Amino acid sequence: MSAQGETRRAPLDRARVLAAAVAAADRSGLDALSMRSLAAELGVVPMALYKHVADKDDLVGGMVDTVIAGYDPADAVGGPAEVRARIRSARAGLLAHPWLRTAIESRTRRTPAVLAHMDAVAGAFLRGGYSADLTHHAMHALGHRIWGFSPEAFEEPPAEPPSPAEREAMLRTMAERFPHITAIAMDTAARTPSGTCEPEGEFDFTLDLLLDAFERLHAAGWTSSA
Amino acid sequence: MSAQGETRRAPLDRARVLAAAVAAADRSGLDALSMRSLAAELGVVPMALYKHVADKDDLVGGMVDTVIAGYDPADAVGGPAEVRARIRSARAGLLAHPWLRTAIESRTRRTPAVLAHMDAVAGAFLRGGYSADLTHHAMHALGHRIWGFSPEAFEEPPAEPPSPAEREAMLRTMAERFPHITAIAMDTAARTPSGTCEPEGEFDFTLDLLLDAFERLHAAGWTSSA
DNA sequence: GAGGCTAGGCGTACGGTGTACACCTGTCAA
DNA sequence: TTGACAGGTGTACACCGTACGCCTAGCCTC
């Protein structure tokens, strides 16, 4: 009564575990992802996961790896255009998986897909004729942006709007104690349609700014020894 | 027998708690900092901390705030020079407190010192004659670099060196599967004195690159609507 | 002085976490 | 037939953040 009784669950493997973890994190965030909850979701006891994953760190590393491995393979045209394409692909991944930023930030091991993405971006610069020296510096300058990051520290979660009176008071003290950022915020509020920051616009702006700067250095025959 | 017997510990206050937490994190890292360990260090029961701190998140937020509040007050000369000075001060803080990067990345509330630092950097741009529009974009482009960050995801911890044979094998497979980053690594190894990346050099390079780019936009009368 | 308020510290307890370790069971190769 | 072994189980441990109630010393007011 083994093969026919209750339909026997196909045995787990690493890929299934990682896929389930990604799905769970997509639904409820990385904090809510525990070995126990993941195991429950897979209809398995927590310790069973450890047959497929060394520990939780390995699990998260694997999740990051699988997502990154799914990035679009861009045409190897070389130069800024290819870099842009690859980075935009990374950014799409980041937007699709809100937990990915935190997960990447905590990574310390370079898994194959991570190395592959870095290699692809570096390759784009090199194929575009950039020197190894300049490419190296460009990669550092792009920094986390090669993973599609935009800076999100100190982003306040959406709060329920305060009463008009409170809002007025807060605005006044802000203007008094932090006049410059208040001025900037007022400026954007007045000038842009949405009235707030537009992350995608800012991301593209910065990416273009950097790629332009690289192009200029490349054209000038820049070397780091200068 | 109250005032004279055993020397009565001065009552805790928020500042003392935060200072002790910063010291503990400096010594043993943020992961090792638990309410229990911190309480023990202060000679107090864990729950006593909650009279001075709302919860652990508030504790970490307070730690970040106190460190940032200690940044050098730069001369308000305005322009890129002041921006550079303020960012270098932030970077010094980051180098002095290894846990600070992680702590900042996880913050979601803008405490006063955080707002003050952001305001100071924005003020430097504005005093330098930059428009609110450009300043806003520049702040976004600097991103986490205004906190002195350099990108550190996927930085491998120092491992004990592998045997020459292993090293040889690893290097070959790296060169085969990830030729571009391998080429870059070899190039740096050959060209630089240390043979590895120099974080401070890279940080300064990028900062200068960005500040230069901003100056160019400023000189050209850039606006975001263009 | 007497009474009460309150800030600060204590003790206990709960539900959660990651994971070490020993065990069982089905499958397949020798 | 027998053994190894991959995969799943169950129990247990140490640790975490923190809710809740209590106790005590100092101070303010009457």
Q: Is B151's CB within 8 Å of A133's CB?
A: no
B99 within some domain: yes
Tell me which residues of chain A, numbers 195 to 214, contact chain B at a CB-CB cutoff of 8 Å. 197, 201-202, 205-206, 209-210, 212-213
Classify burial at A176, counting beta carbons within 10 Å of its beta carbon; exposed 0-12, middle 13-18, buried 19 or more.
exposed
A78 within some domain: yes
Question: Can you tell me the distance from the alpha carbon of A124 to that of A77, in angstroms, rounded to the nearest whole number?
Answer: 7
Question: Can you tell me the distance from the alpha carbon of A87 to that of A117, in angstroms, rounded to the nearest whole number?
Answer: 9
Name the packing angle between helices A14-28 and A56-69 (round to 10°): 90
- Residue A122 belongs to domain spanning: 54-152+197-219
pLDDT band at B8 (very low <50, low <70, confident <90, very high): low
What's the structural domain count of chain B? Answer: 1
List of chain B residues whose C-beta atoms are within 8 Å of the C-beta of residue A119? 177-181
Averaged pLDDT for residues B20-49:
98
> For residue B57, what is the DSSP state?
H
* Nearest residue for C21, CA–C1': A47
| Model confidence at B1: pLDDT above 60 | no
List of chain B residues whose C-beta atoms are within 8 Å of the C-beta of residue A132? 183-184, 187-188
Question: Can you tell me the distance from the alpha carbon of B171 to that of B219, in angstroms, rounded to the nearest whole number?
Answer: 47
Contact A90, B138 (CB under 8 A): no
Contact A37, A24 (CB under 8 A): yes
B86 within some domain: yes
Residue type, B153: A
Which residues touch A93 (CB under 8 Å, ≥6 apart)?
A67, A68, A70, A71, A100, A148
A190 within some domain: no
How many helices (H) does chain A have, and how many strands (E)?
Answer: 10, 0
Q: What is the CATH number of the domain that holds B117?
A: 1.10.357.10
ipTM: 0.93
B178 within some domain: no
Distance A8 CA to C27 C1' (A): 14
Chain A interface mutation, best of B117, B142, B173, B180, highest count of A Cβ atoms under 10 Å: B180
pLDDT of residue B226: 63
Averaged pLDDT for residues B146-166:
89
User: pLDDT tens digits, residue range B168-177?
Assistant: 999 999 999 9
Q: Is A132's CB within 8 Å of B108's CB?
A: no
Name the packing angle between helices A56-69 and A112-127 (round to 10°): 40
> In this structure, what is the dihedral angle of CA atoms A64, A70, A76, A77, given to the nearest 10 degrees?
-90
Who among A126, A154, A225 is closest to B107 (CB)?
A154
B138 within some domain: yes
pLDDT band at B123 (very low <50, low <70, confident <90, very high): very high
* Nearest residue for D11, CA–C1': A47
Averaged pLDDT for residues B134-163:
92
pLDDT band at B6 (very low <50, low <70, confident <90, very high): very low
Q: Is A210's CB within 8 Å of B212's CB?
A: no
Who among B118, B179, B187 is closest to A136 (CB)?
B187
pLDDT of residue A226: 63
Classify burial at A45, counting beta carbons within 10 Å of its beta carbon; exposed 0-12, middle 13-18, buried 19 or more.
exposed
B170–chain A Cβ distance below 8 A for any pair? no
- Per residue of chain A (226 residues), give pLDDT as tens: 333 334 557 789 999 999 999 999 999 999 999 999 999 999 999 999 999 999 999 999 999 999 999 999 999 999 999 999 999 999 999 999 999 999 999 999 999 999 999 999 999 999 999 999 999 999 999 999 999 999 889 998 888 888 899 899 999 999 999 999 999 999 999 998 888 899 999 999 999 999 999 999 999 999 998 6
Size of interface A-B (CB pairs under 8 A): 167
B92 within some domain: yes
Q: Is A181's CB within 8 Å of B118's CB?
A: yes
Averaged pLDDT for residues B192-208:
94
**Nearest nucleotide to B36, CA against C1' atoms:** D16
Residue ranges near strand C (C-beta within 7 Å): A 2-3, 33-37, 46-47, 50, 55-57; B 9, 11-13, 44-48, 51-52
User: pLDDT tens digits, residue range B64-98?
Assistant: 999 999 999 999 999 999 999 999 999 999 999 99
B149 within some domain: yes
